Amino acid sequence: MVQPVELDTLQGLQLTKCAGLCGCTNSDILAAIDQAVADGVDILSLSLGGIARPYYNDSIAIASFGATQNGVFVSCSAGNSGPSKSSVENVAPWIMTVAASYTDRSFPTTVKLGNGQIFKGSSLYRGNPTNQLLLAYGNKSAGSQRLSRFCIRGSLDPKLVHGKIVFCERGINGRTEKGEIVKMAGGAGMLLINSENQGEELFADPHILPASSLGASAGEIIKSYLLSEKKPTASISFKGTMYGNPAPVMAAFSSRGPSIVGPDVIKPDLTAPGVNIMAAWPPITSPSLLKNDKRRVLFNIISGTSMSCPHVSGIAALIKSVHKDWSPAAIKSAYVSDNKGAPIADFGSDNSENADPFALGSGHVNPESASDPGLVYDITTEDYLNYLCSLKFTTSQIALLSRGNFTCPEKALLQAGDLNYPSISVLFNINAQNATLTYQRTVTDVGIPESAYAVEVEEPKGVSVTVTPRSLKFDKLGQKLSYKVTFVSYETQSVAGVSKFGSLIWVSGKYRVRSPIAVTWQ
């Protein structure tokens, strides 16, 4: 899902958000995916989604299950509704759900106030810097001070903003549209300010006038300055393209878990580059998406999980070319590897915490490690159907997904947490002290014919974790070995929804096969 503009969330039962810009009917999505499978594709990259709903009522989940049955790997966007909790979309376990993170590339600006204070911002505007110009904020004479703060159409008084740099707060309308409204009112520039909830995340937008995005903290200081000075001024300069920022960092807009539909599976699955990504652009459309913008480009800079999803799809294609016999689940689990660098930060937190598995899943995608992971977690179509049985789906609900006859066994073959997923989600009751859950996993050796793996465990706070056996010895490639993980909650929680995190890592020489653990008290 692309995030070039800010739009109200579309919540139609018959529509699915498509790259954040269009509505796609469920029937079209089903038909398109079925046709792609019939055409013999190996990888499906779906930068679309909608509000998470039960799998049997989710057109993308239904269509992608059919694709998975036919050996097709399906990668989907996690959504752009972060950092709100449980906002993740495309949560079916047979889908690779991709979050978005920053690269080290940025498009910085410098905003200098008349009192000498300097702030760093972001913009794709390529024109000359502004001089020190008067600042304008809102319309004291306008009927609605609130609407003029957001620089919506018809809210700015040209007499008050002409020749000035206008202070505009994010929200209600699109970011580049605000700049167009400022320009039409005679403004000479714009400072686009994040709300407190939007924090310090900065978008690089192709503005049609000198403009810079600024974080919430800078916005508060600038607002205080312009309201206290008789003649507040500011200038904006543009630094072009720069490299070397800390990366990856989780994007605040990237949707978060836990899944409201299937909390027994950690979603998203992983994160990939999704901020300020160069992408092909239709030449009939302006880079700002504004009708009055006559600029035309073949490539644009775009942010969103629509940008991160194709990265993973391309890497999956590379893995498929090397390992032609791997199933979609094996390819999916190959991405699980230990992050050996510094912990990944998160713009969606208060910047004092590192990103957790509900933000980044198993970690940032690593193509080299994914092509030679050592161990993989495989899942068959029957495994998925038995998982649906564990969720108490009816025969007719399962039939919507399987598109055929399937009867749940009299005795369930697994509990929901036993799905052979490469990550582990554990659910405890908030009042259950010393509650115990045991899950099973099976790994397949795809690394070295004769190898031995030892387990390392980082226990979530308040939970003990026991792995049996603590070592796995493989005699040949393709061999499958199982292990069990027992979780004991020795702490109770006063409120529901608290989550703690840890990890389980199988180590053998160069291989570190990591499974994140999320424990949530319900």
Alpha-carbon torsion (59, 62, 66, 69), positive or negative: positive
Tokens 């018959």 — which residue? 14
Indicate if the pLDDT at residue 238 is higher than 50: yes
Indicate if the pLDDT at residue 141 is higher than 60: no
Looking at residue 21, its pLDDT comes to: 43
**Could you give the CA distance from residue 113 to residue 116 in angstroms, rounded to a whole number?**
5
Tokens 């590339």 — which residue? 105
**Could you give the CA distance from residue 522 to residue 431 in angstroms, rounded to a whole number?**
9
Indicate if the pLDDT at residue 13 is higher than 90: no
pLDDT-based confidence at residue 351 (cuts at 50, 70, 90): low
Task: Give the chain's mean pLDDT.
Answer: 89
pLDDT-based confidence at residue 503 (cuts at 50, 70, 90): very high
pTM: 0.90
Indicate if the pLDDT at residue 43 is higher than 70: yes
What the block records as the tokens of 326 is: 């791997």
Indicate if the pLDDT at residue 144 is higher than 70: no
Looking at residue 339, its pLDDT comes to: 54
Looking at residue 10, its pLDDT comes to: 23
Q: How do strand 108-113 and strand 118-122 relate by DSSP bridges?
A: antiparallel
Cβ contacts of 109 within 8 Å, gap of 6 or more = 120, 121, 122, 123, 212, 213, 236, 237, 238, 239
**Which range is most confident: 130-139, 365-374, 473-482?**
473-482
Looking at residue 413, its pLDDT comes to: 64
Looking at residue 145, its pLDDT comes to: 60
Q: What is the mean pLDDT of residues 243-249?
A: 90
Contact 102, 275 (CB under 8 A): yes
Q: How far is CA 276 from CA 2, 48, 100, 183, in A?
A: 11, 19, 11, 24
Give 45's DSSP letter: E
Give pLDDT tens digits for 298-323: 999 999 999 999 999 999 999 999 99
Other CB atoms within 10 A of residue 246 CB: 10
Looking at residue 139, its pLDDT comes to: 67
Looking at residue 272, its pLDDT comes to: 95
pLDDT-based confidence at residue 146 (cuts at 50, 70, 90): low
Q: What is the mean pLDDT of residues 454-470?
A: 96
H helices, E strands: number in the chain: 12, 27
Indicate if the pLDDT at residue 124 is higher than 90: yes
Give 93's DSSP letter: T
Q: Lowest mean pLDDT: which of 92-106, 420-434, 475-489?
A: 420-434
pLDDT-based confidence at residue 28 (cuts at 50, 70, 90): confident
Looking at residue 490, its pLDDT comes to: 87
Give pLDDT tens digits for 377-434: 999 999 999 999 999 999 999 999 988 878 888 776 678 999 999 999 999 988 777 8
Q: Which helix (H) or strand (E) holds 224?
A: helix 216-228
Q: Choose between 22 and 5: higher pLDDT.
A: 22
What percentage of the chain has pLDDT greater than the value 90? 75
Q: Lowest mean pLDDT: which of 4-13, 132-141, 194-203, 241-250?
A: 4-13
